[in-house]
């Protein structure tokens, strides 16, 4: 598998070269949020043709960020990825209208999102679950913060990152999904697993109950 170190913004050709299973490290600027309210507000801004307080471009990560504010400046305490499927209903439109190249978080995205990513040339990167210390060390600075009325981890923010990773390409721009592959294998194995469980259950029964 390839292990590219990418500097944002990335070209569409670079994105289409990535394949599921590749390990990626990102540097540059990304937009991040971990909040359902932020996703709803992004959609509302699109509906009302309103400008966002923070630019959403290149990469959007489901990466809640806990911050301290000191003298009008924000400093990151830590970041920790959250489950992307919670936002799946919003993502096809966000991917298309913001022309995103990279989205990421935990747990993957559903079929409509995969279709949008294939149509536009976008990949999903899986962030290391439980890897808060590693991911937090890659945050160099908070560039912008929007929607300060929301809790820190729900806000929309722009972060400067350096060698954020390792990130696994879970869905590539050609419609291939590690998450769907794993689900398919699990479905294929389910009848055999059930058969073995039935055999064990039968063998454990008292003779009088058989």
* Residue 36 scores a pLDDT above 60: yes
pLDDT of residue 68: 87
- Which uninterrupted H or E stretch holds 23? strand 23-33
Share the mean pLDDT of the chain. 89
Cis peptide before 31 (omega within 30 of 0): no
pLDDT of residue 186: 47
pLDDT of residue 129: 80
Q: What is the pLDDT of residues 6-16, one digit of tens each?
A: 999 999 999 99
pLDDT of residue 206: 57
* Residue 164 scores a pLDDT above 80: yes
Q: To which residue do tokens 């913060």 refer? A: 145
Q: What is the pLDDT of residues 85-137, one digit of tens each?
A: 999 999 999 999 999 999 999 999 999 999 999 999 999 999 988 888 999 99
């Amino acid at each position: 598998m390839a292990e590219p170190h990418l500097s944002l913004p990335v070209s569409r050709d670079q994105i289409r070269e990535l394949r599921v299973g590749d390990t990626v490290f990102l540097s540059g600027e990304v937009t991040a949020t971990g909040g359902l309210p932020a996703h709803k507000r992004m959609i509302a801004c699109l509906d009302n043709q309103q400008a966002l307080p923070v630019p959403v471009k290149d990469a959007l990560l489901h990466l809640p960020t806990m911050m301290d504010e000191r003298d009008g400046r924000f400093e990151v305490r830590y970041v920790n990825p959250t489950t992307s499927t919670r936002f799946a209903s919003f993502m096809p439109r966000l991917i298309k209208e913001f022309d995103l190249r990279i989205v990421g978080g935990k747990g993957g995205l559903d079929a409509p999102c995969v279709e949008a990513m294939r149509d536009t040339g976008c990949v999903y990167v899986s962030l290391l679950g439980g890897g808060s210390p590693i991911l937090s060390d890659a945050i160099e600075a908070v560039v912008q913060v929007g929607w300060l009325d929301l809790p820190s981890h729900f806000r929309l923010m722009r972060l400067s990152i350096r060698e954020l990773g390792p990130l696994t390409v879970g869905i590539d721009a050609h419609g291939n999904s590690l998450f769907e592959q794993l689900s398919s294998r699990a479905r294929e194995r389910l009848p055999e697993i059930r058969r073995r469980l039935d055999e064990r259950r039968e063998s454990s029964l008292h003779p009088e109950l058989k």
